[in-house]
Amino acid sequence: MPVLIALPLGLCLGVAFAWLARRELRRVTSGDHAGVGLAIATLFGLFVLSPVSAYFLAFEPDWCLAYLVDTARASPALTPALLLLELASVPGGFLLGRLLLERSGDETSLLRLLLAGVVLTLGALMLGLRRFAVQGSYAQFHGDFGTTCACTDRPLSTVLYCITTKSHTNLR
């Protein structure tokens, strides 16, 4: 999963976990750190979001970073640091939602934060859509290798080609 999408998605999922645990969060004391809800959010980040992100960071690092950083020249610590950020995003979103619920006591503010997270995630997806439609290395992407698609003989690839290039004249 691309980092531009995984980070806001993780925060959004954490806030969603906080919204689902809102009754429990009202019962616990501030020193308890929300017990079971935080544990579930952390385990979700550890066993679901992080492995998906780790796969793409390991095998398609340039694509995962939307060709913004040349991973061949980047520090070797970049990938583990990004993976740790993605791992912390779900419990971080949960704690953010817990803090908001604690301060305002209103569920609608939590839902507004969740909506803002969904909008941010979809915005990141839309901004990176053209970059995510291409598979290659940083050098290939910036050298225009593989950016044209000659595989428009199948219906799905034709639709994806039209969406990502906004060109309907190149088709048969």
Q: Can you give the residue range of the structural domain that contains 8?
A: 3-132
Question: Among all chains, which residue has been given the structure tokens 């979103």?
Answer: 93
Provide the pLDDT for residue 151.
Answer: 54
Instruction: Output the pLDDT for position 36.
Output: 84
Q: Which residue stretches of the chain have pLDDT < 50?
A: 170-172
Q: Tell me how far apart the alpha carbons of residues 156 and 146 are, in angstroms, rounded to a whole number.
A: 18
Res 137: pLDDT? 84
Instruction: Judge contact between 93 and 14, C-beta under 8 A.
Output: yes
Confirm whether 169 is domain-assigned: no
User: Quick check: 107 and 21 in contact, CB under 8 A?
Assistant: no
Tell me what pLDDT residue 172 has: 47
Total count of domains within the chain: 1
Residue 123: what pLDDT?
92
The answer to the question of residue 142 being in a domain is no
Residues 6+ apart with CB under 8 A from 132: 2, 63, 66, 125
Contact (Cβ atoms closer than 8 angstroms) between residue 53 and residue 1: yes
Please give the model's pTM, rounded to 2 decimal places: 0.76
What is the Cα gyration radius of the chain? 20
Question: What is the Cα–Cα distance from 60 to 44, expressed in whole angstroms?
Answer: 23
Q: Does residue 141 sit within a domain?
A: no
Which pLDDT score is estimated for 135? 82
